Structure 1
C-alpha cells in the first residue's frame, strides 16, 4: 500500500530550508487588533481589510436581510438556477461603478483570472505579462494554449520590443497587476495603454489591491489614471478592501457573454451566497458615500511609510498601503516576523518562492482602522526588533 513518504520528505525539506509555515488560528474577526488562539492580543498589520468593511454595520445588515430572504446558499451554479436577483443586481452595480458595459462575478479573485484568461486566450493568441504579476495570473495563463511572453517588471521599453515582435498573432493581450501585492508599487498603466493602442493589443489589469484603494471612491487604477474606455478587462476582488469574498471582471457585454459560456471556473462553481452578494452591493454604496475611509487609509499609509524610511528601514518600491520591510534570506525573515509577533505585532513573513530568495520581507498593510496610537506601537516594535537583527 502506498504511503506518504514522498510528501513527508517534501515537508521536511521546507522545514530544513526555514520556509515552513503552519496556519495561525485567530479567535475573532478581522480587525485592527485581533486575538490569537490562546488569548494573546496583537496589532494586526497583515490583513487585506483595507477599509475595515468586514465590520461595517450596513454590510452586516445587508447580509442578514439577504440570508432571511434567500437562505444561506444559492443552490446551484450560475448557468442553472444559481443566478438570483441579488447576483444580477450586484453585477449591474459593479458595471456602473467601474464605468463599463457589463461585469461578471466569480467566486474569488483567483478563479476570476483563471476563468477570464481561459476564455479570451486561444492557441493563435499571445499574452504578454509583467514578470511580477500575481500567481493567479500566472496559473491562468498556464491553463491556456496561448503563446507567452514576459517583460521585466514595469520595463516599458521591453514591453514595446515584445509588442513589435507579436504582430502576427490573432490577439495580443497585455496583462498587469494594478498594484503589485508584494512590493506595493503601481503599474505604469498610462504607458501600457498607449503602447497597447499603438500595437493593437488588449489591456488586462488585475486590480485586486487597487479595488477600494486607488481612484475616486476606490474605483481602481483605470480611474486613478483617467483611462476609462481604454482598458478592456478590469479585474477586481470583493475579498480585500470590499471586505467580503469573490472576484469580478468589468468589461464589454460581448466579453461577459463569452465568459458565461466558456469560463470553466464560472461554469463549474456554485454562485456566491446571497449574503455575500448583498454585502458587496452595500460596500459599493459605502465606498461612494464614505470617502473619509479611503482618505484615512492613505493618510495612515503615507505617514507610516515616511516614518519607516526615516528610521532606516528598506521599504522597497512601496507607494501604496502595502509596505514591505526587506529582510533577506527566508529563515531570517520568518524569524524576524516571529520576533515581531512576540512584541505584539503581526506582520507576516513573505519568502521564496513568493519572492526572490534574497528578498524575503515582512509585508505590512496599513488600514483605515489603524489609529495613530496603533501605528506608534507598531513603529516601536519594528525599531526594537530591527535593531536586534541589524536591519537599522
Structure 2
C-alpha cells in the first residue's frame, strides 16, 4: 500500500481558463495607451510651440467629450452582439428637441433636458423591442428607426435651424458644456463619470456579466436561464439614455439646432467603440478601452490638424482606423477564444485524487472522471 502524499508537498494550482499571461497580453491590453503616449511625444517634438500646451489639452478634452459619450453609447449594444446605427440620428433629434422646447416652447431648461433624456431611453426601448421581438437584424432595424428619427428631426426644424432669440440661451444651460472644474473643461468629467459607471456595471455587477454572456453565446445564455431578449433591450435602452444625454451636451455646445449635425458623430463613435475593444480587455468591448481609443483618435486628429493637413484627411483617418479597429477587434476576440480553449485543455490542473488521498485530506471518496 502506497504512503499518502505529504501534506507539505505542493499541489499544482489550476489556472483559470481564458486568462492570458506574458508580454503579449500586456501589449494587447495597454498598447493603445502606449500609442497615445507615443503620438503625444511625436507631435510635441514636431510642433513644440502649439501641441504641448494647456490650450491643446483643453481643446481635446472639450471637443472630444461628445464623441466619447456617443462612443460609450455605441459600446453598450456591442457588448450584446448588436449594433445601434441610430445613435447619430438620435443625437441630431435630441439636440434640436432640447432647443425647440427651450427656445420656441418656453420650457425651463432642466425640464427640457430631462424630457429629452427620458425620450432617448424610450427610443432605445423601441429599438430593442424591434430587434429582439421583431427578429430583425440590428443593422437593418436601427438604420430604419434612425431614418425615421431623421424625418422627425426635419419635421421639428422644418428643414432649417433653430436659432435662439437676442437674449440667447440661459447661462446655466450653456454652462453644462462651457464651464470648468478644477481647471479642466467640465465635459471631461462627464465622460469620466460615465465610463466609471459603465465599467462598474459591466465588470463588477451580475447585469454586466449577463450582457457579456448574451453577446458571446446567446444560446448558452438561454440554456442557463438568462433572458437574452430582456438584456438586449436593456442594452439598447442604456444606449438611448446616453444618446439623450449627449444630445443635451451638443445643444449646450452648439447653441443652434442643426438637423444634420448628428450624422457627423456616427463614424467616430463606432471607431472609438470598436477600437476600444482591443484595449484594456482585449477581445471584449469595455468602457475604459473605449475612452482610451477616443483619446488616441483625439490626439491623432489634433496633431494632424495642427500640421496643416487638408480637410479630407479626417474622413480618411476615421475610415482607415475603422477598418483597423474591426480587424484588431476580430483578432483579439479570436485570440481570446484560442487562449481560453488552450488553457482549458493544456493548463495544469489538480489531478484526480485516489479514495485514500481523499480520505486523508478529510474529503469524501469519489470516482475518477
TM, length-normalised to structure 1: 0.28
Higher strand share: 1
Bigger fraction of residues in helix = 2
Q: TM-score, normalised on structure 2?
A: 0.29
